[in-house]
Structure 1
Amino acid sequence: MSERIRNSILASKLMSAEQAAEIIRDGMVVGMSGFTGAGYPKVVPAALAARIGEAHGRGDRFSLNVLTGASTAPELDGELARVDGIGFRLPFNTDPTMRAKINKGEAEYMDVHLGHVAQQAWSGFYGKMDVAVIEVTTILEDGRLVPSTSIGNNKTWLDIADKVIIEVNSQQPLGLDGMHDIYFGTALPPHRKPILLTAPGDRIGEPYLRVDPAKVVAVVESNAPDRLGHFTPPDAISKKIAGHLVEFFRHEIRHGRLPPDLLPLQSGVGNVANAVLSGLREGGFTGLTSFTEVIQDGMLELLSDDTITIASATALSLSPEAVQEFVDRIDHYRSRVLLRPQEISNHAELIRRLGCLGINGMVEGDLYGNINSTHVAGTSIINGIGGSGDFARNGSLSCFVTPSVAKGGAISCIVPMVSHVDHTEHDVAILVTEQGLADLRGLSPKQRARTIIEHCAHPDYRPMLQDYFQRALQDSRGKHTPHLLGEALSWHQRFLETGSMRA
């Protein structure tokens, strides 16, 4: 590790994960690195979970408030949740064990726009941060830190935490050095200055994280990969959704509303997002750029042949196969990838200035364009809103995509009224399913309803939606946004009682 830990002062603080875990005590607020399963600490959380399990075995209380950039991996969320070590969690989670604890009411969870977390943490909304546990690639001679495969909220955690534990992961490639852009110019209102970024490839900061050496209480060695899943090739439904969206972009170019190289792309994680990116390549688009949160397999493919010339994000979220491609050609990608803090990647001012094209998934949408991105039947959280709201509200074009049905057709993803609202109709421009695309711009609520039913609803549910809408037009007290309030959520209730939304 001598080439990884080059600062003598910090090298003197080298200890085992078990020794570092002893620093963390019951009731502490702990900031962890990690964003979409990348760049999270690998060994300290496991040692901490073992310690918490032993404490609970003795009948002692031991629970933490855990803050991250976004989701992490089983070695962090899963291990700590398994021993009931997390009493409060934010801002995003994908771990099934943690999710079960949250939905059983055994842990508190705060779903937060990712672009808001840093400012709220600085303002003290989440309490004083006791300890930060941050994975890095290298500690330089002067004590600066080469970040890992994600940045997330690491800059903020290093700034506000009383104590810092650094994990140096020797499995992360040394070639990451130079791929990051850490901006130190943010401030709390009212002392803000404009962030001078006008193109996704602009560098506005420096390549390294800073930390006060006096705050560093432990340095721990690790050697483990990010735990990321395998992405399956886009299926027929995803390809249809992608085809509708790509054709829509061509339509906008013909009408002069988009340039031939589009506007900076923001893409959520998943097969549909990967399918859209593949569709852009197959459609002959070139010279594209991206200002997004996560670079996943589909975007890496476009970066490999310069279909996308520059991608700005806060994390790499790659399958093991894509990780190998990334490592093998890291010199190629270093000039095409910039990783930033999420308070920059998800910053409203920058998203609005760049005019990002936001493409995000949803659980369900309703007749008027309201979107539920996070909950099943209005009560059970899936993952969280993530950064979709940052881009939906502030981008130049907000697109939400989903198959028209789920669970083999038992659930319609177009419903009379969403069971939980994450994005209001005011922030939604385009809805896309495999059935078609609904352009909601410039439409009144009733016009939106007719367009969504016609273009996005599955044929099995379209007559039911038309029937509901027609009766609402006739019987609703208000005619601007007609609803039958006693019936609006009956589709969800029927699903809970019978296992299907079908009448």
Structure 2
Amino acid sequence: MSSRILHPGLRGRLMSADLAAALIHDGDNVGMSGFTGSGSPKVVPQALARRIDDAHHRGEHFRIGVWTGASTSAELDGALAKVNAMDLRLPYQSDPQCRARINAGQMDYIDVHLSHVAQYVWFGFFGPLDVAVVEVAGILEDGRLIPSTSIGNNKTWLEQAGKVILEVNSWQPAGLEGMHDVYYGTERPPHRKPIPLVHPNDRIGEPYLKVDLDKVVAVVETHHADKSAEFSPPDATSRAIAGHILDFLQHEVKHGRLPAELLPLQSGVGNIANAVLEGLNNGPFKGLTAYTEVLQDGMLEMLKSGTLASASSAALALSPAALAEFNADLDHWRRRVVLRPQEISNHPELIRRLGIIAMNGMIEADIYGNVNSTHVMGSSIMNGIGGSGDFARNAYLSIFMAPSTAKGGAISTLVPMVSHVDHTEHDVQVLVTENGLADLRGKSPRKRAELIIQHCAHPSFRPELQDYLERARAGASGQHTPHLLDEALSWHGRYLKTGHMR
């Protein structure tokens, strides 16, 4: 009997991954745990993929809907996408095979703000949730569940699913117990009450997940590592972007628009984000806090140095070395790190009230400040909006960043008009590339365009952007946001035809 499964009744429901997967049927909607590769089920999705693949070879129809917290791992998204097992995927993905299926029209994909997912499931907007497959680090004697390295939407999956399959992963450190804060006070309208969180490190719930034990149809033991994040060392471009942001934040402190310890930080995932965090760690600020959706290497370094006093997150997204260091001293990190459900970590009211400084990546922005963070050349999904919209619209400061070019200089990140809009000009306050920073606050569209071209565009594309703007000012029918509609998307069309935007 596993020492991680202390409830006698649930020990009696132990079975293999193959037997558990047999409890999932064609047409089911399945809520899977996992957020950025952390805390996703490891063996049931692979057993399910084998089962569905066998059914397809027999000529049987077998496809399911898969709902998660965010992106997961090759063992989940990759395994199921490979055998064309998913009829629908939501709310965010980053797996290459999953992306290929979506862009080939072989899989429906709903790109949803991460803060919306749980409540949309409560409201029944997506239909019934038939099965939940959730990884946990252990089961207590009374049936409460110890969450693992992410919470994501697990609270909602366990509440809403008709059947529950638990993967108990003994690879996850037992010391994770007590790091989580699961708030059970959310209600459906019109009975909602204020969420009593006033500091990023507040604990307002309990350290365990609850489940109706009668719904648990299978318990599967595993001993498999999370898929760790891989980050490259910051390069000159990402360090230049980080430098511009650091200078800007110091300027805001000097002018009294930010306190000396700043405001709680949110940062997207990736090499540029880690470079920004590295810059902050080496900068003049102390006693910072983070209220974000992923805890990555840069924030761990800030916690180690004392630059960051505490961090609230929905999941870990650490490199193998950082994860090993984290797991080696969980007693230390438990006092500084809180892991929450994403319905709380990404809650718009909390983001606005706490005054978050939001820093997120983008694919492209246009000269008026509209941002595309999800689509390549207008039609192909990259990953999804994730939580960037939750934070951008409600943040105290909304910052978007990217290198000024892509594909070896063939693509300009700054274009006359974005090919897809995720964040309108109304939600974008600051744009940053390696060339500079454009502070768009309090600026009309025409003034925004001047700043973005001057400060953010790559020198090789700047003259063409300036030429477009001047001709639009001379010839557009309206002069609030001047555009030449027959040219506005011509840069993208030219790239698709010639391989270069110029």
Per the normalisation by structure 1, the TM-score is: 0.99
Q: Which runs of 5+ in 2 are unaligned?
A: none
Matching residue of 1:377? 377
Shift of 1:230: 2.0
| Structure-1 residue corresponding to 2:177 | 177
Aligned to 1:208: 208
- 3-state DSSP of counterpart to 1:423: coil
CA distance in 2, matches of 1:2, 1:388: 40
- Equivalent in the alignment of 1:398: 398
Instruction: Provide the residue aligned with 2:456 in structure 1.
Output: 456
Q: Report Cα offsets for 1:8-32 as digits up to 9, x if no partner.
A: 0111100000000000000000000
What residue identity is the alignment partner of 1:302? M
Other-structure match for 1:60: 60
SS at match of 1:240: helix
Counterparts in 2 of 1:156-305, with a 5 A limit? Answer: 156-305=156-305
Partner of 1:127: 127
Q: State the partner residue of 2:409.
A: 409
Question: How far apart are 1:3 and its partner, in Å?
Answer: 2.1
Measure how far apart 1:308 and its partner are: 0.7
Distance (whole Å) between structure 1 residues aligned to residue 117 and residue 42 of structure 2: 23
What letter is aligned with 2:175? Answer: G
Structure 1 runs (4+) greater than 2 angstroms displaced: none
Partner-residue secondary structure (3-state), 1:194: coil
Are the aligned partners of 1:304 and 1:333 in contact in 2 as well (CA < 8 Å)? no
- Is the 2:404–2:435 Cα contact (8 Å) retained in structure 1? yes
For residue 229 of structure 1, report the CA deviation from its aligned partner.
Answer: 3.2
Paired with 1:166 and 1:240, the residues of 2 have a C-alpha distance of: 45
Amino acid at match of 2:99: R
How far apart are the structure 2 equivalents of 1:349 and 1:204? 16
CA separation in 2, counterparts of 1:324 and 1:247? Answer: 33
2:311 corresponds to which letter in structure 1?
A
The DSSP-based 3-state class of the residue aligned with 1:121 is helix
Partner of 1:330: 330
Identify the residue that residue 485 of structure 2 maps to in structure 1: 485
Partner Cα separation in structure 1 for residue 12 and residue 3 of structure 2: 15
Pairwise CA distance, 1:188: 1.1
Distance 2:47 2:304 in 1: 38
**Secondary structure, aligned partner of 2:441:** coil
Helix, strand or coil at the partner of 2:399: strand
User: How many angstroms does 1:331 deviate by?
Assistant: 1.3
Q: Distance in 2 between matches of 1:16 and 1:228?
A: 25
1:150 is matched by which residue type in structure 2?
S
* Number of the residue aligned with 1:15: 15
d(CA) in 2 for partners of 1:29, 1:2:
30
2:281–2:305 contact (8 Å) kept in structure 1: no
Deviation at 1:303, TM superposition (A): 1.1
- Say which SS state the counterpart of residue 438 (structure 1) adopts: strand
Asked if the contact 2:281/2:301 (under 8 Å) is kept, the reply is no
Give SS of 2:183's match: coil
Q: 1:307 matched to which residue of 2? A: 307
* Aligned length in residues: 502
The one-letter amino acid of 2:28's match is M
Q: Distance in 2 between matches of 1:490 and 1:480?
A: 21
Amino acid at match of 1:341: P
**Alignment deviations for residues 323-364 of structure 1 (CA, whole Å, 9 cap, x no partner):** 111011211111000000000000011001100000000000
Counting only pairs closer than 5 Å after superposition, residues 342-381 of structure 1 correspond to structure 2 as 342-381=342-381
* 2:51 corresponding residue in structure 1: 51
Structure 1 residue matching 2:284: 3-state secondary structure: coil
- Describe how 1:134-153 pairs up with structure 2 within 5 A: 134-153=134-153
Task: Find the aligned partners of 1:115 and 1:27 in 2 and give their Cα distance.
Answer: 26
2:38–2:315 contact (8 Å) kept in structure 1:
yes
CA distance in 2 between counterparts of 1:141 and 1:236 reads 53
Rounded to whole Å, the distance in 2 between the matches of 1:175 and 1:285 is 31
* 2-structure distance, mates of 1:378, 1:186: 37
Q: TM-score under structure 2 normalisation?
A: 1.00
Separation in 2 of the partners of 1:160 and 1:307?
Answer: 40
1:193 corresponds to which letter in structure 2?
Answer: K
TM-fit CA distance, 1:284: 2.5
Letter of the structure 2 residue corresponding to residue 115 of structure 1: S
SS of 1:252's equivalent in the other structure is: helix
C-alpha distance in structure 2 between counterparts of 1:182 and 1:18, whole Å: 31
* Residues 83-129 of structure 1, C-alpha deviations (whole Å, 9 max, x = no match): 11001000000000000000000000000000000000111111101
Measured in 1, the distance between the counterparts of 2:132 and 2:306 equals 37
Q: CA deviation at 1:228?
A: 2.1
**Which letter maps to 2:124?**
G
Alignment correspondent of 1:95: 95
Deviation at 1:2, TM superposition (A): 2.8
CA distance in 2, matches of 1:83, 1:392: 36
Q: For 1:2 and 1:222, how far apart are their aligned partners in 2?
A: 10
Partners of 1:31 and 1:67 within 8 A in 2: yes
Cα distance, 1:305 vs. partner?
Answer: 2.1
Q: Give the Cα–Cα distance (whole angstroms) in 2 for the partners of residues 57 and 25 of structure 1.
A: 16
Give the distance between the partners of 1:431 and 1:379, measured in 2 at CA.
23
**CA deviation after TM superposition for structure 1 residue 307, in Å:** 1.2
**Which amino acid in the other structure matches residue 217 of structure 2?**
V
Q: Distance in 2 between matches of 1:439 and 1:53?
A: 52
The CA deviation string for residues 182-202 of structure 1, in whole angstroms up to 9 with x for no partner, is 000001111100001010011
- Matches of 2:246 and 2:446, distance apart in 1: 27
Distance 1:129 1:364 in 2: 35
CA distance in 1, matches of 2:167, 2:117: 23
Give the unaligned 5+ runs of structure 1. none
Deviations 1:406-436 (A, max 9, x none): 0110000000000000000000000000000
